[in-house]
Structure 1
Amino acid sequence: MRRPIAVLALAALAIGLAGAVISPAFARSGSPAPPDDLGSRVASIVGRFPGDSAAATTALAAELVALGPAGLARTLALVLPPDEGNDAKARFAVNGLAVHVTRAGAEAERLVFAKALLAALATSRDRTVASFFMTQLQLCGRAEAIQPLARYLTDKDLAAPASAVLQAVGGPEAVRALLKALDTAPPAARLSLVGALGALRGREAVRKLLPLTDSPDEGLRRAAQAALAEIGDPLAAPALAKVRVAASWNERAEAPALYLRFARRLKEGGRTAEALEAARAVLAAYGRPNESQTGAEALTLIVSILGEKAFPDLVRAVKGPSPALRAAALEFAALGTGEEAALWVEEAEAAGPEVRAAIVGMLGRHRDPAQVLGYLRECLGDADKAVRLAAIRTPAPRGGRPADFFPLLAGADAEEAAALKAALLQFRADEVVPFAARLIGTTPHPGKAALIDLLAEKGARGEFGRVFALAGDPDPATRTSATAALAALSGEGDLADLVGLLEKAAEAEDVVNLQNAVAAAARSNPDPALRGAALVELLRAAPPARKAVILRVLPRVAGAKALSAAVAGTEDPDGQVQTAAVYALSQWPDYAAAADLRRIAATTGSKRFRLMAVEGYVRLIGRAGMTGARKAALFEDLLAQPFDDADKKLAVAGAASVREPEALRLVGRFIDHPVLGETAAAGLLELASEQAPHERWLSGHEAYSLLRRVQAKAAGDPAEYARIDALIAERLRQGGFVPLFDGRSLAGWKGLVSDPPARAKMTPQELAAAQAAADERMRAHWRVVDGALVFDGGGESLCTAADYGDFELLVDWKIDRGGDSGLYLRGSPQVQIWDPAANPVGSGGLYNNQKGPSKPSEKADRPVGEWNSFRVVMIGDRVSVYLNDRFVVDNVVLENYWERDKPIYPSGPIELQAHGNPLWFRNVYIREIPRDEAVPSIAAAELDEGFTPLFNGRDLDGWTGDTKGYAAENGKIVIRPELASGNLYTAGEYSDFTLRFEFKLTPAANNGLGIRAPLEGDAAYAGMELQILEDGSPVYWGLRPYQYHGSVYGVVPARRGVLRPAGEWNAEEVTVKGRRVAVAVNGVTIVDADLDQASAGGTIDGNEHPGLKRTSGHIGFLGHGAVLEFRNIRLKELK
């Protein structure tokens, strides 16, 4: 509560623009804004950066350009030095401008913005800001930037970005400026200058750079060498060709690459002789195996210079000791002429086995092999295995014949057999199947296995008997190859034999192979209605042991007949048959088995059967082609059953795989369960591990609360705790939050300087001195301990360095017994914090209010010594507060404590109040809420489509009903529940239509959209009500599915998780045509339903909804006591 002792505050920024978000409506225009309006217009546009898309960012940049040079200057003034505020949006805006003005046909805009950047740069007193402006000039600067930037080339801190600008601009003038600065620049700056000169490839720089290659400064020496290599002037050859004895390891490592770059630049400059000499020098010096990359680059350059005449160079590389360099040379050789291919045969015949094999491999893929086909066939019988393999792997179209390959299988080892099989598979079936069938009985393993595989892959069903006989071979390798091949060779007529063999199989691999063969044979009937029927007939007549064998195969067959047989098996009196049947259902490939698995799980007395059934049911739900909400509902039903924890673990894990907010809530119920908690926590972390753009709910209140609870369970594992903290921070970032406290330092915070009115009276010098003293006191009493802001009880309050207007604030806090504190918003007290035992009313209230409510609606504090969590939303002058997920302050006006006759300030710091007792704060994040820009009007394209406005933006003409609680304000319809909270309807009635509108929610806001509604009665039943609800609020975490935003109340549930946070505008489209209703929010369809189908057999809420039968009626907003805003309401009647 407020005491007369020190209070927390922060001086407003001198220009007041960083926090300015006031946005009066204005029409877009190409003329500059008047001075009195300019600051707010700039702040309004900048506050909307970055746009939701590239097109939106471009549009915002165009708005800033339209404000003229003065507007651009004001935009650049919003870029701040570090620790002076959050200027992220301003930097996004400046970068967006730099990109926007470089588009084709915008030279005039580019020049204006570049000059604005140069002017801002000239007056900047902060080097980081100056550096940022230079990075933008890299994008949009041209010749006009050269002379202004030249003054920075000798600045040790700014030479690098300045050089980068000149490098981007290019041209002789930029080179001259860099050369001029080189003589007087300090060592730290010269590196950047030298690098830019090299990138610009200015030959006039060579004579100045050459002496630097002998500089005692290694960095400068290396930079000069790199620049000379890039320029490519012959004068640099001696300096680059040698490496000093005293050269560093880095210089020695870089030398060949630099010399090759130098050679490439020589070639580009037409000096091919010098380039060739340099490349050959590198190739000769770097031909060892560990230097192959350098040698290959040199060889590439040689080939690019000589073309076909590089044959001798290629031969030398192939004969060298480096396999990698040899491979690179042969890649070039494969692209040569047929005559060159013949020359390579001569080289191969004279070479040793390793080189000969490599050449044979190249000839096999040569682009013109006609002259070497005979030699390749000869190599199939070479005494060396490597050569044989190279020849075998020659593509079949290169002249090989099946008869060349089959004889080799008799003596082949596993590697050669695999290569021979791959070669034979390139031929047609009629060319190889007769050979394979004839040789399969006499060829030893592994050649026999290759022949079996060949028959299978060629689909030689006529050879089933031969392969089936081998499936019982005593040799394991032969048997396994044969059983694996049977699936490709079997038909329905083979089922009895296959089942008999499967029943006898003992090895796991053989069992799997034969199950595949049985399934393939059962599915081979071309008539879909009869597939599996033959196997089911075998099942009926089989003894129990064989039944069990067949049942385990049925999931691979699937279909209605197989499923019926598996279900029947669950009722078989034989235990092994029952077990096999339940197992089969648990492995079923599609959702058709789900109902039976659910039934077995609920009725069986066997724990083993229940576990199998639940496992299968969970798997099928995950695979099913149904909505995520439906999957979550099925898992919720499963978890409501009186099953063992082992069964429920499967269901919890399954639910966590559903990426919907319903699943998040369901899994979250089990965080504190003694057995299921670990599974639930792991599932939630996996669910939140990434976030797609449409998954806003993963950044919302409920997800944040659950993840913090998961994190608390990991308190004993620092690494896991930190990992979860980083995950939460990333989700918050995607939700628009930024940290106010980094967990490590007091960066972004300042000490208290008096109160806002007193600060406003100070001169800048007085304020600066007072701030310096306050910061000194702050550092004496506020510190960071174990990731928390800790106050020792002395000193004064802590203030954010930046001001904030509308925002959503997250902060955890802890207090000592008897303690007292609070949060000041916009520099004014306060959201109360105190010991709940000493103050039974509890924390969270707006303690200093005198006219409006000052107490929380309920006590939600945790005991002293435990962490509490605030979520505070401030929009305009109204504040909403959640304490530990309980809604304790509902949209209450925060009164101005300092100046009671005035409203609360439009912006100001957030302050952590010091009150003479120890305090702890952590997890402090803020989401700034943009204030309204100009109210959009109906787009020309929509007018062409036939849309007309339902609301004129000035008054409620055309509306009827509660015109007291609803009012037209600033182009919006605003609900003021303190005046009334009824229903506001259109005066006219509508039947089929498309309605589009925008709406802004406050925390826990509740309203509805009535369609086809009468003026009397409850629109939810007498007509239809589409929910309008801030359903991410904890207030609504227990709703029924048909009560969430967009739902046709009581009739059709809507997809959840697409709303933007409280305080931001949402766009909704409702289409009603005949019996169909569709709802889209922010571009995502959340309802698309046929009303007759949805209400067939009764509505899901169990109530009568006679309004579903209405064919026309009024459109209305249905008040439920909450503040909301609507705008841009337009409608198109459908014929």
Structure 2
Amino acid sequence: MKRLMGAMMMGMLLALPVLAEPDVEALVKRMPTKSHVDSDAICAEVLTGGAEALDSVFAKITPTTADDMAARFTAGALVHYSARPGADTERLAVAEALVRATDATTNDTIRAFMIEQLQWVGNAVHAAAIAPHLQNERLCSDALRTIRLTGDNKVEKILMKAVTSASPACQTLIVKALGDIASDAVVAPALALLKNDEAPAQAAALYAIARTGDPRQLTVMETAKATQPDLYLIYLARMLEQGHASEAARESEALLADTELLSAYRSKALDTLVAARGKKALATLSDVVITEDPALRHSAIRLLTALQGSRIDKAMLTRLEGAESKALAPWLLVLAGRGAAQVREPAVKALADPEAEVQLAAVDALGMLGGDASVAPLLATAGTNGAATKAAARALVSLKGEHVNTLLAKALASPTVATQVAALQALTSRGACEHMAALWPLLEQADSGLRKTALKSMERLASPADRARILAFQAKASDRGERSTAARTVLSITQDMAKGPERMAPILAAMAAGDDTIKQELIKILPALGGPAPLKIVVSTSNEDSSVAVRTAATRALTSWRDPAAVTPLLAVAANDKVETHRILALRGIARLLAMKQGSVDERVAHYEAALELATRDEERDALAGGLEKIGDASKWLRAKSLARGKPVTVSVGTEAGTAPARAVDGKLENTSAWYGNASPAWLQIDLGKAQKIGAARVVFYSDGTRFYTYQFETSVDGKKWTLAADQAGNRTPSTLEGQYLSFEPVEARYVRLQIIKNSGNPSVHVVEVEVYTTLPKEKTATPPCPAPPAPAVVTPAAVAAVKPAVKPAAATPAATEPVAADAEGFVPLFNRKDLTGWQGNTAGTPVKEGVITARQGNVFTKKEYANFIMKLEFKLTPGANNGLAIRWPGKGIPAHTGYELQVLDNTAAKYAKLKTWQYHGSIYSISPAKRGFLKPVGEWNQQTVIAKGDRITVILNGETIVDAVDVSAAKRPESGFIGFCGHGDEVHYRNLRIKELHNVPPRGFTALWNGKDLDGWWGLGTEHYKKYRDLAPEAFKARQAKSREDIRTHWRVEGDDLVNDGRGLYLSTDKFYGDFELVVDYKTVARADSGIYLRGVPQVQIWDSTKAGGKWNIGADKGSGGLWNNPGGAAGKDPLVLADKPFGEWNHFRIIMKGSQVSIWLNDQLVVDDAALSNYFDRKNPVPADGPIQLQTHGGQIRWRNVFIKELTQEEE
């Protein structure tokens, strides 16, 4: 073996290019890199140094002496780089280096790392080289995994050689592995292992024997029959595979007869029995198929349907003829499933059976048989109100037959309404547009429900040319519901039409000829059509020439419009319509439309202000002001929101001509709109109309750049007893038209009074505006209280008596710091070394000094959540200290129980001598103990690295890996959460906290669609009918895939953690086809980019530039990304429910669930599509395919993707 390996090594050394000696030390220090390309370049350079360079890299993995993380990343990168196709020489060189590194150390942690890496690049020779480690209980599991993956046909020989001399614990693992590969040689060591009293050993032995299928071990396996029937069933199945059919059949029959066994086990036994006996099992199956056990019965139906053999159908028909009522159901299903045409007549008769189960089976049988002959009986059943009515209706939809649609259309003339409805619904679901003419007579029927059903069917079956006839029916209809249904039908047809003169012509003609009721119904559908032409129609009916009812409909339509184009007409309604209801509706509609955030800020602010001028009620002003608050000058919306605006005002002094006191509450912030009082001191009092909670105000005085006013602000419930709320008697700040914001303890008040003590410019007083609010706006800062010096001047004795210290405003929260750029290794600081900005919890009790956090009592944790990451920090213990490092904590409960807590502890303290192993420093509390002996003395700084990647958590302390564990209970804990320190009263110091987030790590239950490093698993497609590639012959399909991959390699690339497209080329499409699934993906795009995600090969979940500058507002970009954009206009899901896009430069996150044709979509955690059907863009009459590729679309701009994960949904998960 050694001579062979030596020869291989010599060959590899000769094959590798000999260049200048690489600087391994410098190359390792550059890892990990931000870019996959940079990492590959480093690996290529290391490999030029041959075996010496590789040995140097692996020798740097020395966890007992230094932080070897860079070396570990380099080693892993070398493994993945050399595992690429066509790199056989490099792959063998790396594998040999790993074997040498394993042999060169006695440290099991290092050995485990090398052995794990070897699984990606090794072969059978290397598998044999690590076989001695199967004797090491610490390494046995790692060695087994690598040997099984690399040993090829030598695996059994290697394991059998090792098993006899291994320890009991290792024997258990090796025997289990031999069972996994169905080794026949495992019997002897397995029998020996059975003598071990440990339950895991006995379980492994029985499993291995079961996998042999050796009938000589039947007595041994009998012990598993009662306690582990699943193992016994594995044994019987393997026995059958090994050619022992009679023994397998006999034992399976015995299990089947055991009624104490669970149905699932008996069903599996039945499978084995039928596989062993074939058609000879007919008698047994015939008995089982009528059993009361539903699971067993369904298994029998499945097996009988597939049973091969001549004359089987005849024997089954005999059974059917002699069956009692309840036994009819399974035989109908079996025979129909086998395609036995003779069962049609019994199935038709069974439709009248009193048993619901039999009726349902008969319907299913007729549906499976198909053909024109099934139409009449299924229609008759669908037209009843029985147990099988819905099943029959479903069967008609999918029924195959040459003239099925024609027969359904003829049935529309049936004298029975129920039959007509059933036929109509089936035709509609089948998309039988060719039979649209058969629907017109239904509109003349006496039954109103039938007429409405026919109108609804026309939504799918009628063409644009049919709209005039539908509108003519509407004009004659006396039933309001029918008129409304007809209008909606016309809407549905019109939405699928391209814009042009013909689109609106029939609707215009109908409105011109129709009465007010017709106009109202048609006006209702216009908002869903949208665009200039429908808007023009609505506006024309909103003026005084129309009746009040029509104007009401027009106003409601404008308020429901889908873009702000209706704002201007609504402003006209609010200003000119004399009907108060219309004015109220118009203002509500304006508030809704402006909240869509479409149009320039200046346009929206102007519209808000125009609407505010027309608002007369407090709730109207509040609604409009709330929207303006988010985009405009705060002073404008505050004036509207003020509780004092327009309220009665009284004053204590005379008023100069033309400056009435009401000007102080008119909402105008201009010197020329002030109240001028002719003397000071003076007061101005406002009656708010009712007692209510107030807590803030703004006072604006006349301003000239130098003058100031001293004043006080008072409140009162009754206008008699006054309380000082804010004191500015010592104010010296020159007044401005921005005024001063006052904040005070919320009080109940009806009256407020401004006590003006002094104007520094002259004896008069000049008040521009007084505003009163419930609370101070969040973006405004209150003017600090400024009372007068001792013995202040006071206006009246009452005011003096009322004075109390003003409430000191809370200190402002420090502004968040700008995002910090990552360092060369990709790490960013977790705190700013000055304070705990970005942290929460007990920040007041956690001091920061000279870049050091001192954790004591209580929890302090980040405001941001982290999932997968590498975190580096330094900490210094005090004697007997106990603290904790919390990761993935959800913010509730005890971190050690609801997240993870990594112990921070002085292991040397005597009081901790008897702790559990998982309570010492570095341990994952209650989950995984850490190795001890690597802490520095108390009072010295320790370096620690924590890696959280999926369910694996690794802790490296002062260069030694002390924890490397996979949490088997991880499903109970969150995958993301806060990072923080858990204080237990002791003092621990922390500094140099840095973190690097890891991407492309699948969440639990998900698998990666993109592997994070290359384009494996993908090919290229454009927007094309899926039949073009699905119908290709296998060889042609492979050729097309190969050619498309040349294109995607041109336009798609990997940059670091990102999958990047340049905006051109084919769409990236998965090799695998997916049915029902949950997909999560992050993307980041640029201005004017356009993209999307195709589901099962059908477009698309839309991604685009939602700003006006993007140039696509005219086709819906204003509504944002996430909608099913290729759905017909007005269809559910076409437009997202909310605008949820993040600004350019930020990552967006999609969560998409698809079940059948139904799709739900969340964008940035906001629901944008709620269980809407994805329309089949390529074939509107049929649903989307049951499976297909997922495609990442691109055209028009760079887009980046990462964290692309999928979970295929089983029936239970759905």
- TM-score, scaled to structure 1: 0.51
**Does 2:251 correspond to 1:266?**
no
Aligned partner of 1:1057: which letter?
G
Say whether the 8 Å CA contact 2:176–2:204 is kept in structure 1: yes
1:214-225 aligned within 5 A:
214-225=195-206
Shift of 1:575: 5.5
Aligned counterpart in structure 2 of residue 612 of structure 1, from 577, 589, 599: 589
Q: For residue 1115 of structure 2, what is the aligned residue in structure 1?
A: none
Q: For residue 349 of structure 1, what is the aligned residue in structure 2?
A: 321
Task: Sort the Cα spacing of 1:278 and 1:168 in 2 relative to 1 into closer, same or farther, 3 A.
Answer: farther
Q: For residue 77 of structure 1, what is the aligned residue in structure 2?
A: 59
Say whether the 8 Å CA contact 1:502–1:515 is kept in structure 2: no
Q: For residue 333 of structure 2, what is the aligned residue in structure 1?
A: 361
Task: Sort the Cα spacing of 1:575 and 1:652 in 2 relative to 1 into closer, same or farther, 3 A.
Answer: farther
1:974-989 aligned within 5 A:
none
For 2:909 and 2:607, locate their aligned partners in 1 and report how far apart those are by CA, in whole Å.
Answer: 60
Which deviations, in whole Å up to 9, do the C-alpha atoms of 1:955-998 show, x marking residues without a partner?
A: xxxxxxxxxxxxxxxxxxxxxxxxxxxxxxxxxxxxxxxxxxxx
1:789-804 aligned within 5 A:
798=941, 800-801=943-944
Aligned partner of 1:270: which letter?
G
Q: For residue 293 of structure 1, what is the aligned residue in structure 2?
A: 264
For 2:591 and 2:32, locate their aligned partners in 1 and report how far apart those are by CA, in whole Å.
Answer: 52
For 1:581 and 1:741, locate their aligned partners in 2 and report how far apart those are by CA, in whole Å.
Answer: 70
Say whether the 8 Å CA contact 1:740–1:924 is kept in structure 2: yes
For 2:519 and 2:841, locate their aligned partners in 1 and report how far apart those are by CA, in whole Å.
Answer: 49
Question: In proportion to residue count, which structure has more helix?
Answer: 1
**Does 2:38 correspond to 1:38?**
no
For this pair of structures, how many residues does the alignment match? Answer: 696
Say whether the 8 Å CA contact 1:33–1:71 is kept in structure 2: no
Which deviations, in whole Å up to 9, do the C-alpha atoms of 1:619-663 show, x marking residues without a partner?
A: 695xxxxxxxx99999999999987664687799999xxxxxxxx
For 1:325 and 1:635, locate their aligned partners in 2 and report how far apart those are by CA, in whole Å.
Answer: 68
Aligned counterpart in structure 2 of residue 339 of structure 1, from 303, 308, 311: 311
Shift of 1:438: 3.2
Identity, in percent, stands at 20
Aligned counterpart in structure 1 of residue 1145 of structure 2, from 1054, 1057, 1061: 1057
**Does 2:435 correspond to 1:438?**
no
Gaps of 5+ in 1: 1-27, 246-251, 622-629, 656-672, 679-697, 750-771, 788-793, 804-911, 930-998, 1001-1026, 1028-1039, 1043-1053, 1060-1082, 1089-1135
Q: For residue 300 of structure 2, what is the aligned residue in structure 1?
A: 329
Question: What's the secondary structure of 2:993's corresponding residue?
Answer: strand
Q: For residue 120 of structure 2, what is the aligned residue in structure 1?
A: 139
Question: What's the secondary structure of 1:334's corresponding residue?
Answer: helix
**Does 2:557 correspond to 1:584?**
yes
Say whether the 8 Å CA contact 1:648–1:676 is kept in structure 2: no
Q: For residue 191 of structure 2, what is the aligned residue in structure 1?
A: 210
Task: Sort the Cα spacing of 1:453 and 1:143 in 2 relative to 1 into closer, same or farther, 3 A.
Answer: closer
Q: For residue 865 of structure 2, what is the aligned residue in structure 1?
A: 728
Which deviations, in whole Å up to 9, do the C-alpha atoms of 1:257-307 show, x marking residues without a partner?
A: 22232233333433344344444444343x67x833333333333444444
For 1:745 and 1:221, locate their aligned partners in 2 and report how far apart those are by CA, in whole Å.
Answer: 43
For 1:154 and 1:675, locate their aligned partners in 2 and report how far apart those are by CA, in whole Å.
Answer: 73
Task: Sort the Cα spacing of 1:244 and 1:277 in 2 relative to 1 into closer, same or farther, 3 A.
Answer: closer
Question: In proportion to residue count, which structure has more strand?
Answer: 2
Say whether the 8 Å CA contact 1:257–1:294 is kept in structure 2: yes
Task: Sort the Cα spacing of 1:306 and 1:244 in 2 relative to 1 into closer, same or farther, 3 A.
Answer: closer
For 1:193 and 1:111, locate their aligned partners in 2 and report how far apart those are by CA, in whole Å.
Answer: 26
For 2:389 and 2:152, locate their aligned partners in 1 and report how far apart those are by CA, in whole Å.
Answer: 62
Task: Sort the Cα spacing of 1:184 and 1:713 in 2 relative to 1 into closer, same or farther, 3 A.
Answer: closer
| Bigger relative CO (Cα 8 Å, ≥ 6 apart) | 1
Shift of 1:47: 3.5
Say whether the 8 Å CA contact 2:350–2:358 is kept in structure 1: yes
Aligned partner of 1:329: which letter?
A
Q: For residue 10 of structure 1, what is the aligned residue in structure 2?
A: none
Aligned partner of 2:362: which letter?
A
Q: For residue 924 of structure 1, what is the aligned residue in structure 2?
A: 993
Question: What's the secondary structure of 1:274's corresponding residue?
Answer: helix
Say whether the 8 Å CA contact 1:436–1:455 is kept in structure 2: no
1:509-520 aligned within 5 A:
513-520=485-492
Q: For residue 116 of structure 1, what is the aligned residue in structure 2?
A: 97
Task: Sort the Cα spacing of 1:375 and 1:464 in 2 relative to 1 into closer, same or farther, 3 A.
Answer: closer
Say whether the 8 Å CA contact 1:131–1:158 is kept in structure 2: yes
Shift of 1:217: 1.0
Say whether the 8 Å CA contact 1:75–1:90 is kept in structure 2: yes
Aligned partner of 2:33: which letter?
R
**Does 2:485 correspond to 1:504?**
no
Question: What's the secondary structure of 1:389's corresponding residue?
Answer: helix
For 2:208 and 2:530, locate their aligned partners in 1 and report how far apart those are by CA, in whole Å.
Answer: 69
Question: What's the secondary structure of 1:800's corresponding residue?
Answer: strand
Shift of 1:153: 2.6
Q: For residue 567 of structure 1, what is the aligned residue in structure 2?
A: 539
Shift of 1:132: 1.9
Which deviations, in whole Å up to 9, do the C-alpha atoms of 1:289-335 show, x marking residues without a partner?
A: x8333333333334444444443343243133322232233223333
Shift of 1:402: 3.9
For 1:521 and 1:927, locate their aligned partners in 2 and report how far apart those are by CA, in whole Å.
Answer: 54
Q: For residue 282 of structure 2, what is the aligned residue in structure 1?
A: 311
Question: What's the secondary structure of 1:156's corresponding residue?
Answer: coil
Task: Sort the Cα spacing of 1:152 and 1:408 in 2 relative to 1 into closer, same or farther, 3 A.
Answer: closer
Aligned partner of 2:247: which letter?
E
Q: For residue 491 of structure 1, what is the aligned residue in structure 2?
A: 467
**Does 2:619 correspond to 1:550?**
no
1:693-732 aligned within 5 A:
728-730=865-867
Q: For residue 32 of structure 2, what is the aligned residue in structure 1?
A: 47
Aligned partner of 1:491: which letter?
R
For 2:1196 and 2:149, locate their aligned partners in 1 and report how far apart those are by CA, in whole Å.
Answer: 46
1:543-942 aligned within 5 A:
544=516, 546-558=518-530, 560-572=532-544, 576-588=549-561, 593-597=563-567, 600=570, 604=574, 606=583, 608-616=585-593, 646=623, 728-730=865-867, 733=869, 798=941, 800-801=943-944, 924-927=993-996
Say whether the 8 Å CA contact 1:30–1:66 is kept in structure 2: yes
Say whether the 8 Å CA contact 1:110–1:140 is kept in structure 2: yes
For 1:97 and 1:152, locate their aligned partners in 2 and report how far apart those are by CA, in whole Å.
Answer: 23
Shift of 1:521: 6.9
Q: For residue 216 of structure 2, what is the aligned residue in structure 1?
A: 235
Question: What's the secondary structure of 1:204's corresponding residue?
Answer: helix
Question: What's the secondary structure of 1:141's corresponding residue?
Answer: coil
Say whether the 8 Å CA contact 1:64–1:71 is kept in structure 2: yes
For 2:25 and 2:197, locate their aligned partners in 1 and report how far apart those are by CA, in whole Å.
Answer: 54
Say whether the 8 Å CA contact 1:471–1:483 is kept in structure 2: no
Say whether the 8 Å CA contact 1:502–1:549 is kept in structure 2: no
For 1:309 and 1:567, locate their aligned partners in 2 and report how far apart those are by CA, in whole Å.
Answer: 80
Question: What's the secondary structure of 1:341's corresponding residue?
Answer: helix
1:92-171 aligned within 5 A:
92-102=73-83, 106-146=87-127, 148-170=129-151
Which deviations, in whole Å up to 9, do the C-alpha atoms of 1:728-765 show, x marking residues without a partner?
A: 324x95xx97777999957799xxxxxxxxxxxxxxxx
For 2:610 and 2:842, locate their aligned partners in 1 and report how far apart those are by CA, in whole Å.
Answer: 29
For 2:341 and 2:282, locate their aligned partners in 1 and report how far apart those are by CA, in whole Å.
Answer: 19
For 1:567 and 1:923, locate their aligned partners in 2 and report how far apart those are by CA, in whole Å.
Answer: 65
Aligned counterpart in structure 2 of residue 387 of structure 1, from 358, 379, 382: 358
**Does 2:243 correspond to 1:283?**
no
Question: What's the secondary structure of 1:139's corresponding residue?
Answer: coil
For 1:456 and 1:723, locate their aligned partners in 2 and report how far apart those are by CA, in whole Å.
Answer: 62
Per mean C-alpha deviation after superposition, the further-off stretch among 547-556 and 420-429 is 420-429
How well do the aligned residues superpose, as a CA RMSD in angstroms? Answer: 5.9
Say whether the 8 Å CA contact 2:382–2:393 is kept in structure 1: yes
Say whether the 8 Å CA contact 1:213–1:224 is kept in structure 2: yes
Q: For residue 50 of structure 2, what is the aligned residue in structure 1?
A: 68
